[in-house]
Amino acid sequence: MQELWTKGEVGMKAYVVSDREGYSEWIVVVFAESRGKAVAAALGTDEFPSADWSYTELRAIRKPEFDKHYRGNWRMDWDNPNDRLAMVRDGGYYCNEDAFGPDYCAKCSGKDYCSRYEEYLDEEVETDG
């Protein structure tokens, strides 16, 4: 992956890569010099394994609101609390059903900005009551 970008390069732009047809619930936020390089970077990640996806099945949408979060890493990592906070607060992203509930929501760095956190709290009240 290193040949696609240079660490600390000023021209890095944020892109959200997803599948063109909307079959996958996964996205990946990558930093690249162009839309094509963003797709190439996303291909082979855990979200889009190259064995399951081809270059033409993915699309990259420019997200300038994430540009400020470029810190030399080629992608934002949902498991990094700072990246998660930025993705929830600045992008409106939230967890899928597998990561929704008491084991995740109460500890989430983005809970104060999450559109689903109130839903989690409502479920907690129903369960306790």
pLDDT tens, residue by residue, 45-103: 989 998 899 999 999 999 999 999 999 999 999 889 999 999 999 998 888 777 777 67
The Cα 48–Cα 38 span in angstroms is 12
Strands (E), the chain: 13-19, 28-32, 58-62
What is the residue range of 21's domain? 2-76
Assigned domain for 59 exists: yes
Q: Is residue 112 part of a domain?
A: no
Domain-embedded: residue 41: yes
Residue 7 in this model has a pLDDT that exceeds 70 = no
CA distances, 18 to each of 12, 33, 92 (Å): 19, 17, 15
Residue 120: the pLDDT is 73
Q: How many domains does the chain have?
A: 1
**Domain annotation covers residue 84:** no
- In a domain? residue 107: no
* Rounded CA separation 107/25 (Å): 22
Mean pLDDT, residues 7-24: 81
- Residue 116 lies inside a defined structural domain of this protein: no
